[in-house]
Structure 1
Amino acid sequence: MTVCAIETAGRTGFTIAADGTYAARLAGDGDALYPERWTLDGPEPYAVPLPLGQPEDPHAQVLPLADGRVLIARRAGGGYTFSLLYPTGPGTGQLPLGAVESPALRLLPPSPDGTCAYALTAGEHSTGVWRVAGGAYGPEHVAEIEGRCTGGVWLDRTGRLLALDRQLDGRPVKTVAVDLERGGEVTELLQITEDSEDRLLLADADSGLLLIRSDAPSPGHARLGWGVMGSTLPVRFPECLRLADAAVTPFAVQPGQMLIPEGCAVALRIDAAAGSWLGVWRPSERRMRQLRAPAGWLRGAGLWTPEGELRLPYVTGAVRCGLARFVPDAVTQPSQPEDARGEPSAREVTPGVCKPVPLQQAPLQQAALTGRTARG
């Protein structure tokens, strides 16, 4: 399963493991917060609270591992401490892992290997990449990247290649690929134009589909677009993904579509003054379907199955741990937006040099992406 949770830090965060088996969040009310693990791969989801002797800080970050343990990062003094939590009968076990001295730290999305966890730390002129779980001797500094890095998207299924959005020397933000097995060696991944800000939001290792936000079509106004890893075709910016007075953010891509990026279903969160709801779209389609999200949806979190079932976690007063399951292809609700003639808009904006850097031209990444054929 390909999963992604946009909100990965703080009180509202709900993070799903790379294989879709577990999830974790901070649960509770007010100041009485505690980590909670969800099991998602059974007939029905269920939640296990993992409280300790005192409530957690609202800024604590949690991340599930594939073995069912939950990593927690807690602020402590001028840095962060890390522990693994797990249920032990009626109580909670805790395995301390060590600490990282940094006033600003953010956990990255779960590693595809399911056993390691990584974090970014902000320095004055560079960004550190730390392996905070899964190493031999506690937190390990694995790379130091020049510039200020944000984002974080895994490009393969081994946890070797990490994409980061980097700002360097005051230049526009560009996405780079970091090879964690080569000491953090950096190669360019995405540059649409020299002056555009280009960020990678999601990547699917099976199909090569990339979801991108860039202001290349309209300088100063970021647009949502898509491209294909290894392709020489331009990034496309479908008009149907551009909504007036609403922000559209992709959060999950359908896995298992080997080398068929145009057929991958993409789930999007739509946020506007009236609230939040769900969008479903495929690159091969000319329209985005807009659907009502389940009550209590943990916004920005969800997963696809390879068969095309979308699963959204939710919590209500009556349901402590819920997982809404539906197949969007079976939904007949009318899609939006439409043009003035009542037809779905199909216009795509493609700047003259609008293309991702083909990954097969980056020698450090070739070995980890063997077997992939470039597609348009």
Structure 2
Amino acid sequence: MNASRIVPATGETAAAREHGPYLARVNFRFSGRARYAACLTHGGGVHGMIPELWDLTGPRPRSRMSRSRTPERLWTLPTPTHDGRLLLARRDRADAVRLVLLDPPTGEEHELAVFGPHVVALTPSPAPGTAAWAFTGDAAGRGTVWRLSGQAEPPELTATLPHPVVGGLWLDATGRRLTLRPKQPQVAPQVLDLTDGTLMPLAGPADDEYLLWAAPAGTLLTAAHRDGAYRLGLRHRDDAQAATVFPDRLNLIEGQVRPLALDPAGRRLALAVTRGARSHLLLHDLIEDTSREVGLPPGTLHALARWTEAGLHLLHNAPDRPPSVLTVPEPIAEVVPGDRQGVPASVRACAGPAGTIEAIVYGDPATARRVVIALHGGPEAAWHLAYDPLFQRLAGAGVAVVAPNQRGSTGYGTAHRDAIRGAWGGPDLADVLHLGHALAGARGPAGSRPMVYGASYGAYLALLASAARPELWERAAVVAPFLSGPALYADGPPTVRTMIDRLGGREVIYDALGPRDLLRLGDRIRLPLLIVHGEQDPIIPVTHSRRLRDRLLRAGRREGADFVYREVAGAGHDPVTDDVDGGVLDQLAAFLTSGP
């Protein structure tokens, strides 16, 4: 078999050696013609985040770190230009966006514009001479569109729109027609002609969402709500009268299906299919309506991908390999992973109180000198076989990690996912306590007790477990916890309140433990505790951790001795990645590897 291989970027191993093995990569973007990709990289021993540029013009991706004058923050969005420079949209503490052109080899910067504290989004352009389009909003509720040449020159105002929008899908290869996604739900999707700034209605059914396109074939992949479910459909870009076709077999694929890319001819569709904790790569023939699976090592595929004449460009990562841009040349047959850069992990089935619980496991939980149960956020989320810098730090120090997908997690059917609807801290808490008891039993009386760690909803669940069975745990570390569903509903943004309503997060549980309110349960949290929260968290207000800290003090806990509280200045909902100095990851790892 003539198997095409995915190969890692040639600079990746060198980058790992230079910046340490714990690389976190976020905010990936492709250039308009997918000649380059870019991301932000946070490496061990390096302060802040660094732009990383991926050159996709050769037989294999080549990556290099980009010099910049100041460390980047998590909310910096890098967009590569056609010639390998970077447009950086930097949001400052006043919420203004500074648009900068960076030359990666030299670190030379040119500030192009400063936009006010409103909507700012960049859409890469496939047109020669135009690197991207910037979409902004103003206080009057209008939208503006700016052309960015990719040169050291100010943006060119192209259009003023009656409402704010962001760019969607290109409808041609020339970079002329672009679908728009209005920020106001009552505004219908439209198409913007960038040659003259005119708007026109989007062709096809009003409820179709355009996902992918293939030029010059003109094939469009859409999604629409049909027969009680979202279905993938096909239509031609220029045929507004033809009905959307919904291929039967395409819509019967088992698992969580995410379209990645259409091939240039518009016949083959690459799909990432998540089943349990890992991703699978499928190629679907849209004419025959048949799929075949491409060999893919255990890991996770990101939703961002591009398919060009050079091959299929993917973002893949695994527990022992940081996220990387990988290229599969034609014929696409098999994916071969790059070099291992960390401690591997496996998927294991654990016995739970109501059935099997799948978990990502590093090391041997029964014999390792220490073990931590790690709880994911969400709650509608799950752990996947993906790279996690904290887990790598812990596993490298001899700490076993068990990351379960307890009830409430996605990817295991509706019954498993919906088990906690109207019962936050009910079935999922029972699963966590069951796993804690099982680990303690497997380790025996001579072994250290398990620890518990969680972020966001996982932090809330970890604190509930600490209050429910304080004698079970050795210590707990939490990042961005909230106090209760009702308290978060009162303080959180509209998107969070909508999620709480949908999942029944304000319902009260009446049992031996009582209502799941951490202020009420504060007296029961008696184990050593580390609390970390971003000062500017837009999802869970930092006031929740401040109130928890005050409650622990009133209960007689001594800050600095019984618990540690750290508020990360300027950080958002993910202070581990968003910490310029890199100290949060160090502190979490030190707390969970130190002795009793």
TM-score, normalised to structure 2, is: 0.46
CA contact (8 A) 2:192 2:199 kept: yes
Distance in 2, matches of 1:114 and 1:280, equals: 33
1:176 aligned to 180, 183, 190, which one? 190
Q: Which residue of 2 aligns with 1:238?
A: 247
Kindly indicate whether the alpha-carbon contact (under 8 Å) linking 1:14 and 1:298 is maintained by their aligned counterparts in 2.
no
Residue of structure 2 equivalent to 1:24 = 38
Compute the displacement of 1:36 (Å). 0.5
Question: CA separation of 1:203/1:229 partners in 2, compared to 1, >3 Å: closer, same or farther?
Answer: same
Counterpart amino acid of residue 116 in structure 1: A
- Alignment pair present for 1:190 and 2:203: yes
- Superposed CA offset, 1:19-68 (max 9, x none): 33211111124863110101111133211111324321101101111111
Equivalent pair of 2:61/2:327 in contact (CA under 8 Å): no
Answer 1 or 2: higher relative contact order, Cα 8 Å, separation at least 6: 1
Which has the larger displacement, 36-45 or 264-273? 264-273
The answer to whether structure 1 residue 87 and structure 2 residue 104 are counterparts is yes
Task: Tell me the secondary structure at the aligned position of residue 156 of structure 1.
Answer: coil
Structure 1 residue runs without a partner (length 5+):
1-9, 332-376
Measure the CA separation in 2 of the matches of 1:151 and 1:245: 31
What's the CA shift for 1:177? Answer: 1.1
Cα distance in structure 1, aligned partners of 2:120 and 2:275: 29
SS in 2 for 1:241: helix
Note the alpha carbon deviations across 1:263-317, whole angstroms, 9 max, x for none.
x22222334553433232232022233445456666123333437x433244665
Residue correspondence of structure 1 range 1-376 to structure 2 within 5 A = 12-29=26-43, 32-76=48-92, 77-88=94-105, 91-113=106-128, 115-123=130-138, 125-134=141-150, 137-147=153-163, 149-150=165-166, 152-166=168-182, 170=186, 174-182=188-196, 184-192=197-205, 197-215=207-225, 217-218=226-227, 221-231=229-239, 232-243=241-252, 246-255=255-264, 257=265, 261=266, 264-271=267-274, 273-294=276-297, 299-306=302-309, 309-314=311-316, 323-325=326-328, 327=330, 330=333
CA distance in 1, matches of 2:43, 2:293: 31
Name the CA distance, whole Å, in 1 between partners of 2:40 and 2:169.
23
Q: 2:343: which partner in 1?
A: none
Which AA in structure 2 matches 1:222? Y
Note closer, same or farther for the CA distance 1:320–1:210 as it changes in structure 2 (3 Å cut): closer
- 8 Å contact 2:280–2:293 — kept in the other structure? yes
3-state SS, counterpart of residue 252 of structure 1? strand
1:62-100 C-alpha deviation (Å, 9 max, x unpaired): 111111111111002232111111233xx4222221222
- TM-score, length of structure 1 as denominator length: 0.70
Alignment partners' CA distance in 1, 2:186 and 2:201: 17
Is residue 280–residue 290 contact of structure 1 (8 Å, CA) maintained in 2?
yes
- Number of paired residues? 305
Q: 1:139-188, CA deviations, whole angstroms, 9 ceiling, x for partnerless residues?
A: 233223334534511122232211113476726xx432101121x21111
Contact kept, 8 Å, 1:67 with 1:115, in 2: the verdict is no
CA offset at residue 202 of structure 1? 1.7
Dislocated runs of 4+, deviation >6 Å: none
Structure 2 regions of 5+ residues with no counterpart? 1-23, 335-596
If you compute each CA radius of gyration, which structure gives the higher value, 1 or 2? 2
- Alignment partners' CA distance in 1, 2:136 and 2:254: 34
- Secondary structure of the 2:26 match is coil
CA distance in structure 2 between the aligned counterparts of 1:51 and 1:79, rounded to whole angstroms: 23
> Distance between the aligned counterparts of 1:170 and 1:319, measured in 2?
40
- 1:108 is paired with a residue whose SS is strand
TM-superposed CA distance for 1:224, in Å, is 1.6
CA distance in 2, matches of 1:111, 1:190: 22
Identity of aligned pairs, percent?
A: 30
Give the distance between the partners of 1:100 and 1:62, measured in 2 at CA. 16
Q: CA deviation at 1:245?
A: 7.3
Deviates more, 1:239-248 or 1:104-113: 239-248
* Counterpart contact for 1:51–1:92, Cα < 8 Å: yes
The answer (yes or no) to whether the contact 2:220–2:236 under 8 Å persists in 1 is yes
Post-superposition Cα deviations, 1:353-373, rounded to whole Å, max 9, x if no partner, equal xxxxxxxxxxxxxxxxxxxxx
- Tell whether the 8 Å contact from 2:169 to 2:211 is kept in structure 1 after alignment: yes
2:290 match: secondary structure: coil
CA contact (8 A) 1:97 1:133 kept: no
Mapped contact 1:129–1:144 kept (Cα < 8 A)? yes
After superposition, the Cα gap between the structure-2 partners of 1:241 and 1:267, relative to the gap in structure 1 and judged at 3 Å, is same
Q: Distance in 2 between matches of 1:114 and 1:240?
A: 41
State the Cα distance separating 1:129 from its structure 2 match. 2.1
Cα shift readout 1:89-115 (whole Å, capped 9, x = no counterpart) = xx4222221222243222213443363
**Alpha-carbon distance in 1 for matches of 2:88, 2:185:** 33
Q: Secondary structure at the match of 2:40?
A: strand
| Alpha-carbon contact 2:294-2:332 (below 8 Å) kept | no
Alpha-carbon spacing, 1:149–1:45, altered in 2? closer, same or farther (3 Å): same
Structure 2 SS opposite 1:13: strand
Cα distance 1:212–1:320, how it changes in 2: closer, same or farther (>3 A)? closer
